[in-house]
Every structure is written in C-alpha cells, then in structure tokens.
Amino acid sequence: MQMTWRWYGEGNDDITLDHIRQIPGVMGAVWSLHDKVAGEVWEMERIQEVADQLKAKGLSPAVVESVNVHDDIKIGLDTRDGYIDTYIDTIRKLAKVGVKVICYNFMPIFDWTRTDLYKEAGDGSNALFYQKNLVDGATPQSVVDRILEGAGEKTMPGWEPERLAHLENLFTAYKDVDEDKLTENLKYFLERIIPVCEEEDVKMAIHPDDPPWPIFGLPRIIRSREHIAKFLKLVDSPYNGLTLCTGSLGPNLDNDLPGMIREFGDRIHFAHIRNVRVMENGDFIESSHRACDGSVDVVEVVKAYHDVGFKGYVRPDHGRHLWGEEKTCRPGYGLYDRALGVMYILGIWDTLEKKY
Ligand code: DNO
C-alpha cells in the first residue's frame, strides 16, 4: 500500500508539506483545487502549480480528492453534457501531471453529514459526531446551520455555503430522483468518462455515502455490499473503481468491511482507513484508529488489504482533535491523531510483511 495524507493547499491548511513529509511512510499528498465549485473549469496552470509544490517536497501528486460532480449530472438534466465535457477536460489535464486516481462521490446535495464537529470524547479530545435523532427529526437547513457554524472561517469540502444557500431549490430539483434514477444518471456519467480514463490511465474511485443510509429522503446508492457490486457492473472496467472508506460504511454494523475488501480488492484504488464507535442508539463518534477503541476492526481491515496484495493508495482519513488543536485545525483533519493513525496502520502492515 502507498500511504498518503490529505492536504488542503498552500494558505488553506495549517499542516504544511514540511509537516507531511516528516510523517513516516507518507509518499504523497491527496489534493484538490479547493476553491473550485462543482462544474468549474480547472486551469492547467493551477494544476501544474500544486503538482510542482508537491514534487518539490518529494511528495507524489497521484491522488486527487475530489473533483466534485455537478448536481445537474446527478439529477440528469439536459445541461449535464456540458458539465461532463468539463469533467473530462479536468481528467485529461490531471493526467498530464501524473494523477492516477480521482476520488469523487455521487451523493445528492450533502456530502458527509455530522451533527457535531467538536464533540467532547471524555478524555479532553473531541471529534466529529452524528446524533441520529437530530437528523431524523430535523430540517435540512438546521443541519446545514450547525455544520457551517461549527466550521467557522474554514472551508469545508461538500459544504459550500454558496451552493447550500439554494437548499430549497436543490431539494425541488431532486424531487423525482429516486435510487433507480440516481443509478441511471451515474451510469450515464460513467459511460462517458471511463473510456477517457482508460485512454489517460486515470482510475476513478467513488467514495461511499457517509453515513451509509438515506438522509432527508434523498437517495444514497453506495452504502452496502450489494450497492457496490451493482455499481461496479454499471461499467465493468478496472478504471471504474472504489474509494473504500471504512469510516463511512462502518456506522452500519451490517457492513462486513474485511469481506468487502476481499471481494472487491482489485477495484479498490484508494483506501480510507479510520474507526468509528457506534452506540446502541445508532449515534456514532469518530474514534482513534485502534481497533479496540471503535466498532471497525482496523486490524482485520488492514489484514484483508494485505491478503489481497493491495498496492493502491491509502490515507488515515479523519482523526480526533488532540492537545488543543481543534482551535486551529479543520474538523476531522488535525495533525496528531491522523499521524498516529498512519503509524497504527503501517505497524499492522509491517508486522504482516515482517519486513522490519
Ligand atoms: C470527508 C471526505 C469526503 C470525501 C468526498 C469524496 O472528509 O472523506 O468529503 O472527500 O465524499 O468526494
């Protein structure tokens, strides 16, 4: 496996490339142009600039997370073709600087959803938290308000205030989009982009729905073994693959994560490895990576990757906020717990390899 670290870009992340290159085993920074909204053109100069910054510090730019998909594509409007052309243009440009994997998602309106960005965990640390009844009984607007208020000045991918300002219109636009329609629209998108990916040698890696159940009546189609098996058949090419995120699929305890890794291993291009502690009432909090601290057996997860001979990219995904860093870090993306997570994952991996 090739260990990476998500970086939000120069001037947009307290964690610098100099921090990142000192974390053992990290070979690449997972990046994006975070100021771009879905559907916007990515200029070659901007892409080249980030790739050069990473290469100057000895870090690979091979993974981009995310190139976001415009709502018109997900809804299936006539305007989608223009947005798909722009997406293809971005794929071709990214290929030129050595990008090999693009992570994206196909969730309507909301990306990952939590009710609390800094929930006290009892030991002075805090972490992202999901309180089920707060979402089940709430209006979408109240959840948006909670998240944007918690984020303060920080930009949060998937929670762009400009886009969410039109929440009601977005819900109206999605009103006839059910699971089948969303799946059809995803197929249409993939049928156009995957041939380009094959030509350019760039693998697409869809991110599962987080949390793995429908929220506010919106369909979610990448949230179980069955959904993933169906997705991979929509376009049966190795270039149509997965970001397997244990923290996103993990809150549904029926999801057998090591089983999915063994079954879909050759289509997993990017692994997000983290832990969540699921409570009896269905709430969950993001916990340390250590298997006994949460509901995801991270040891078994890493073992499954080892068993399938996983050569793809991995990142520790989120971490708790430790030692007071919540005052400065982006929610879920502090330095310390993610770095501890890297070492935990690599510790398991190296033990399995016995190359120490
Ligand atoms: C959250 C991330 C997601 C992910 C997108 C991929 O921290 O894992 O926002 O980047 O869903 O498009």
pLDDT in tens, 115-153: 999 999 999 999 999 999 989 888 999 989 989 888 888
Candidates 6, 33, 70, 105: which one to mutate for ligand 1, based on the most atoms within 8 Å of Cβ?
105
Kindly list the distances between the CA atom of residue 285 and the CA atoms of 179, 183, 270, 320, in Å, as whole numbers in the listed order.
27, 30, 23, 9
What pLDDT is attached to residue 152? 85
- Region 308-328: what's the mean pLDDT? 96
pLDDT in tens, 320-348: 999 999 988 999 999 999 999 999 999 99
- Region 32-56: what's the mean pLDDT? 97
**Cα–Cα dist 144/146, whole Å:** 6
One of 245, 329, 337, 344 is an active-site residue; which one? 245
Cα 331–Cα 64–Cα 265 angle in degrees, nearest 5 = 95
- Residue nearest ligand 1's atom 3 by CA: 112
Strands 313-315 and 268-272 come out as: parallel
pLDDT in tens, 212-226: 999 999 999 999 999
In degrees and rounded to multiples of 5, residue 85 shows phi and psi of: -60, -45
Best CA proximity match to 242, nearest among 253, 257, 252: 257
Q: How many CA atoms does the CB half-sphere of 92 hold within 13 Å?
A: 11
Cβ contact 112:245 at 8 Å: no
Best CA proximity match to 27, nearest among 10, 46, 3: 3
Give the fold, CATH level 3, of 2-353: TIM Barrel (3.20.20)
Candidates 111, 215, 286: which one to mutate for ligand 1, based on the most atoms within 8 Å of Cβ?
111
Q: Does the pTM exceed 0.85?
A: yes
32 lines ligand 1 (CB under 6 A): no
pLDDT in tens, 237-276: 999 999 999 999 999 999 999 999 999 999 999 999 999 9
Known catalytic residue at 317: yes
DSSP 25-89: TEEEEEB--TTPPTTPPPPHHHHHHHHHHHHHTT-B--EEE--PPPHHHHHT-TTHHHHHHHHHH
Known catalytic residue at 207: yes
What pLDDT is attached to residue 153? 82
Percent of the chain having pLDDT more than 90? Answer: 89
